[in-house]
Amino acid sequence: MRSLSQRQKEMLSFITAFISENGYPPTHEQIRQGLKMSTKSLVNHHLKALERKGVIEREPETPRGIKLLDGLRSFKVPLLGQIAASEEPISFTDSDYEEIELTPDIVKEQDGLYALRVKGDSMIDALINDGDIVVMRHQAVAEGGEMVAVRLKDRNETTLKRFYPEGKRVRLQPANSRVEPVFVHPANVEIQGKVMAVIRHVA
């Protein structure tokens, strides 16, 4: 993005604040009043410049038809429940769930996401604490190196580890490089989802 002049920055800032406050963009007249200009044609002039610089997009002849291109892009993800080593697999049919609001700076891809809250400290060798939120993506097969939620059928236990198929066995590698990997038979493994991100509330 080319740099903006002082007046352009002011206009962009005004529009951003207006949208935050009101939920919809301002009219040219509202911008004119807000920036203490005497004419709407000056507003149009600056909006054209912001458009040329790739900062906004305008829908022609459309009241409030201004879109910020560097606008905020959050989205919501269902927080379906909890994950712990010893619990039953998560049920995805629950329709009465919380949601958490994420952004592309937390998780790039948005398809098929859900979140789970970690219960207990059994995930600590994945550097995941009790109470952390893991953002998952629905996925029943994994590629080598992906971190997944894996259910070990013989132990009736779920763990979060990096998954490496190695011939006749699977290596499950903890995130903490100082902890030894686990080796299991492929038939013993059920992949419940791929870990996309972890969020920890501290304060």
Question: Which residue is catalytic, options 48, 67, 122, 153?
Answer: 122
DSSP string covering 68-83, please? Answer: ETT----EEEEEEEEE
User: Is residue 37 close enough to count as binding DNA by CB under 7 A?
Assistant: yes
Residues near 12 by Cβ (< 8 Å), separated by ≥ 6?
A: 4, 50, 55, 56, 68
**Candidate residues 57, 94, 166, 190; the one interacting with a second copy per rule CB under 8 A:** 57
| Annotation marks residue 153 as catalytic | no
DSSP string covering 101-170, please? Answer: EE-TTT-S--TTEEEEEE-SSTTGGGT--TT-EEEEE--SS--TT-EEEEEETTTTEEEEEEEEEETTEE
**Candidate residues 49, 182, 191, 197; the one interacting with DNA per rule CB under 7 A:** 49
Residue 60: name its binding partner from DNA, a second copy, none (Cβ under 5 to 8 Å by kind).
DNA
Between CA 150 and CA 144 the distance in angstroms is: 13
**Candidate residues 17, 22, 33, 45; the one interacting with DNA per rule CB under 7 A:** 45
| Annotation marks residue 108 as catalytic | no
Residue 71: name its binding partner from DNA, a second copy, none (Cβ under 5 to 8 Å by kind).
a second copy
Which residues does the annotation mark as catalytic? 122, 161
Residues binding a second copy (CB under 8 A): 20, 22-25, 57, 59, 63-68, 71-76, 100-107, 121, 124, 127-129, 137, 146-147, 175-178, 194-203
